[in-house]
Amino acid sequence: MTDNQKQPSSLPLLIGGAFFVGIAGFLGWGIWEATHPAPVPLQGMVDARTISVSAKIPGRLSAVNVKEGDLVKVGDSVATIAIPEIEAKLQQVEAQKAAAQAREDLAMTGARIQEKEAARADWERARAALTLAQKTYDRVNALYKEGLIAAQRHDEAFAQLTAAKKLTAAAAAKMSAVDEGARVEDKAAAKALVAQAQGGVNEVTSLVGESDVKSPVNGEVTRIVMEEGEVAPAGFPLVLVTDLSDRWVVFNIREDELPGIEVGTEMKAYIPAVDRPVTLKVNWINPRGEYAVWRATRQSTGYDLRTFEVRARPTEDIPALRPGMTVIVER
């Protein structure tokens, strides 16, 4: 047997050592990965301002003038409400205004010429009757003093004179009132009644205008809430309009991940739906935690981590950006 045949081979030892070293390295790498997990990217969602277009008055929806996906501008009609009761009310208040206006005209212009002439004629007749009663009383009184007539005849003449004086005074007062017209207080009251009636007309007219429901913003119709023929309560949404010019991204971030994120912070993000990066600038952080969804970080102390809503806006306009799209921020 030669020397080479007697010397044991070291190859198995080398292979075994390499195997154990590989196993140890793999286990070490696994432990390191387990204790140092890769940062989880922040995931947010695009949101936009959505307006609920509703009617100020209740009524039956006679027409829906838009459909989902339509682009509307401020003042565009989105729905029409039938309100026959309001139209009848408008006729009523317009009649009340006409009556109040007639009263005011009468108070301001005063009596007609015919009324003034009649009042003057009554006064002149009363004055003529007074003159006759005065002369009659003077003659009767002279005869009574001479003892030629009875006292009863004297008393009758005096009573007729007194009545004639009162009738003349009343006729003079009536003529003066007709000439002067209505009192200042009456004129003010008549004017106030006209203003009140005009206010009623304006109110009902504005309600009639509310039958045509218009969009308050520029945007896209994203949902038809009520259909034609349904009865819409006052203030209930009829159509939802989304203002696509006012968009932002919403993140719900765990509080231990908030350090380094504050209002004004810029973040590099990626939008899979449009396949492009975007820079976001934080503009609002909710001052209160929304909810606690994370289990206790330490079993011994046992406190929960809350989630805070963070909003960020793109620093550039992205026309293709739509509500609901996912936004990823790598950390």
**How is residue 134 annotated by DSSP?**
H
17-57: pLDDT as tens digits: 677 777 777 676 666 666 555 667 889 999 999 999 998 88
The answer to whether residue 190 sits within a structural domain is yes
- pLDDT of 6 over the 70 cut: no
The answer to whether residue 278 sits within a structural domain is no
- pLDDT of 256 over the 90 cut: no
The answer to whether residue 276 sits within a structural domain is no
Rounded Cα–Cα distance for residues 117 and 122 (Å): 9
The answer to whether residue 123 sits within a structural domain is yes
The answer to whether residue 295 sits within a structural domain is no
Give exposure, 220-236, as e/b (b: 16+ Cβ within 10 Å).
Answer: bbbebbbeeeeebeeee
Q: 107 and 193: one domain?
A: yes
Q: 183 and 108: one domain?
A: yes
- pLDDT of 295 over the 60 cut: no
Rounded Cα–Cα distance for residues 279 and 329 (Å): 10
Helix (H, G, I), strand (E, B) or coil at 272: coil
- What percent of the chain stands above pLDDT 70? 76
Range of the domain at 217: 50-82+211-240
Which residues does 215 contact at the CB level (< 8 Å), separation at least 6? 51, 53, 72, 73, 74, 75, 76, 77, 78, 239, 241
Residue 238: band (very low, low, confident or very high) from pLDDT cuts 50, 70, 90:
very high
Q: 224 and 142: one domain?
A: no
The answer to whether residue 171 sits within a structural domain is yes
The Cβ of residue 157 has, within 10 Å, a number of other Cβ atoms equal to: 21
- pLDDT of 68 over the 90 cut: yes
Which residue in this structure is represented by tokens 């009644």?
Answer: 193
Q: 74 and 220: one domain?
A: yes
Question: Of 163, 190, 206, which closes a domain?
Answer: 206
Q: 172 and 215: one domain?
A: no
- Which CATH number do you get for residue 235? 2.40.50.100
Q: Computed from CA positions of residues 91, 96, 101, 106, in that sequence, does the dihedral angle turn out positive or negative?
A: positive
DSSP-H helix ranges across 210-317: none
What does pTM read for this prediction? 0.56
Rounded to an integer, the average pLDDT of 9-21 is: 67
Rounded Cα–Cα distance for residues 53 and 79 (Å): 9
Question: Of 240, 257, 290, which closes a domain?
Answer: 240
Residue 9: band (very low, low, confident or very high) from pLDDT cuts 50, 70, 90:
low
Closest CA to 95 of 201, 190, 192, 195: 201
Residues in the chain: 331
Rounded Cα–Cα distance for residues 274 and 326 (Å): 10
Q: 167 and 194: one domain?
A: yes
The answer to whether residue 28 sits within a structural domain is no
Q: 76 and 216: one domain?
A: yes
Question: Of 206, 227, 249, which closes a domain?
Answer: 206
**Dihedral angle over CA of 219, 221, 225, 228, nearest 10:** 120
Q: 187 and 218: one domain?
A: no
Q: 164 and 113: one domain?
A: yes
The answer to whether residue 27 sits within a structural domain is no
Q: 94 and 155: one domain?
A: yes
Residue type, position 134, single letter: Q
Number of domains in the chain: 2
Q: Which of 147-161, 208-222, 258-272, 276-290 has the lowest mean pLDDT?
A: 147-161
Q: 61 and 146: one domain?
A: no
Q: 157 and 233: one domain?
A: no
User: Is 96 within 8 Å of 197 (Cβ atoms)?
Assistant: yes
